[in-house]
Amino acid sequence: MSRHVLAMLRDPYRELMRLDREHGPVIQTGFPPLRFTYLLGPAANQFVFANSGLFRWREAFQVLLPVGGETALIVSDGEPHRRRRRLVQPAFHHRHIRAHAELMRANADAELDTWRPGQVVDVYQAFRAVVRRSTIQALFGPRLAADEPELGRLLQIGLDLVERPPLVQQLSPLARRRAARARAEVADRVRAEIARRDRDPEAGDVLALLVAARDEDGAGLSETEVVDQVISLIAAGYDTTSAAMSWVIYELVRDPAALARAKESAQYREWAVNEALRLYPPAVISARKPVRGFDYAGHRIRADGLVIISPYVTHRLPELFPDPLRFDPERWDPARPGYRKPGPHEFLPFSGGAHRCIGASFATMELTVLLDRLLQRAELDPPTEPVRPVTLTAMRPKGGLWLRVRSLA
């Protein structure tokens, strides 16, 4: 157990692949309350997604409470989760999502307008702000978007806490109080915006749809539920999407042939986004708390710990993705000989099953739109040194992604 914990702290990506390579799809380690059962690979993913009634999310994702709040979808279970998701889902219909493409382009252009040839830019942080502003503006309107720098500062306090191991969180009362105060400030701003939507139900953005959403019995989301969904959608959306954006840029600028094709083809850009999500999935691992013991693959899994699946491990299995460490957008080309569309248990950058990320389509469209503007307007030199990932919650580039701007259009 101690070896595993230390290895996860030093290099969780290497350790996860070692577990799969040396121990197979079922690994049980530790003792209550720190008992972990890793169920690795596509069959395990499929089992977990198909048996959602065996698991609870709240205990597994309670580390996210300082950001998401008590009623966020990611910490909801059972009927409350089904009800909240049913009310939130229509706001992410494709027709609503597509309507926001133009403002995403405008925000990308506004950022690119500040760049100059010869400048060295932290592309990760630059597009993190673009993604945050676009997400807030598209989902929750221009007034909240105008507060984007301050909202980002406040939310980052909670995100910094969430990145710490759970035990460290518990031993950091000052950090927890600081995160709580920061979240309360964000919540006050969201409540003020909700009050405006009550006066203007025709605003048309996601916030207006959340406020107006009603069940078949006429009941809607409470103000607390709306606030929690708004904050969790903003935080999760920009944290993971900006990390994914940096990785697709990183891989393309290191591959001149792939970069040239991405500039010419919208379809190829979509493949490149998928390939970046495969190599660098936003959620490296995903946990569940069993509600009772169960049997899987000849093993008895007890209910006194956490079950962990890993999109990261699945996406790097050669039996699913030949030459898995290679950035190869063309593996997503249906016309390629031998192409096989991966199932939802084989390609799961946004998790899967009943708790699949509700903003997955929004994030994918945002990545594609922002990548298009960057490639059409900027020439970037490849990095001078390899960039390494860090954290299990959003897999961002350690130290950012610093690239020199060669030219701008």
Kindly report, residue by residue over 35-71, the tens digit of the pLDDT: 899 999 999 999 999 999 999 999 888 888 888 889 9
Burial 63-100 (b: 16+ CB within 10 A, else e): bbbbbbbebbbbbbbeeebeebbebbeebbeeebbeeb
- Residue 81 is predicted with a pLDDT of 93
- Residue 203 is predicted with a pLDDT of 64
Pick from 165, 193, 159: nearest CA to 178: 159
Pick from 193, 356, 197, 203: nearest CA to 282: 356
DSSP 351: B
- Residue 167 is predicted with a pLDDT of 67
Pick from 292, 353, 273, 281: nearest CA to 315: 281
Report the DSSP beta bridge partners of residue 226: none
Q: Is residue 301 classed as helix, strand or coil in its secondary structure?
A: strand
- Distance (Å, rounded) from C-alpha 317 to C-alpha 339? 16
Given a contact cutoff of 8 angstroms between Cβ atoms, the answer to whether 396 and 134 are in contact is no
What is the residue-averaged pLDDT of the chain? 91
Q: What dihedral do alpha carbons 139, 144, 150, 154 form, nearest 10°?
A: -60
Q: Is 407 exposed, middle or buried (0-12, 13-18, 19+ CB in 10 A)?
A: exposed
- Distance (Å, rounded) from C-alpha 169 to C-alpha 171? 5
Q: What is the pLDDT along the chain (409 residues), one digit of tens a residue?
A: 668 878 888 899 999 999 999 999 999 998 776 789 999 999 999 999 999 999 999 988 888 888 888 999 989 999 999 999 998 988 888 777 888 899 999 999 999 999 999 999 999 999 999 999 998 888 788 888 888 889 889 998 988 888 877 667 777 889 889 999 999 999 999 999 888 877 766 666 788 888 888 888 888 999 999 999 989 988 887 889 999 999 999 999 999 999 999 999 999 999 999 999 999 998 899 999 999 999 999 999 999 999 999 999 999 999 999 999 999 999 999 999 999 999 999 999 999 999 999 989 999 999 999 999 999 999 999 999 999 999 888 899 999 999 999 999 9
Pick from 8, 51, 9, 45: nearest CA to 25: 45
Helices first, then strands: H and E counts in the chain: 18, 12
- Residue 333 is predicted with a pLDDT of 98
- Distance (Å, rounded) from C-alpha 351 to C-alpha 46? 11
Per-residue tokens: 399: 């130290």
- Residue 204 is predicted with a pLDDT of 66
- Residue 201 is predicted with a pLDDT of 60
Ordered structural domains, the chain, with CATH: 69-282+323-408 (1.10.630.10)
- Distance (Å, rounded) from C-alpha 401 to C-alpha 381? 12
- Residue 360 is predicted with a pLDDT of 92
* Residues ≥6 apart with Cβ < 8 Å to 329: 258, 261, 262, 268, 271, 272, 274, 275
Residue with tokens 């673009």: 130
- Residue 215 is predicted with a pLDDT of 84
Backbone angles phi, psi at 258, to 5 degrees: -65, -40
- Residue 259 is predicted with a pLDDT of 97
State the CB neighbour count (10 A cutoff) for residue 213: 19
- Residue 324 is predicted with a pLDDT of 98
- Residue 68 is predicted with a pLDDT of 87
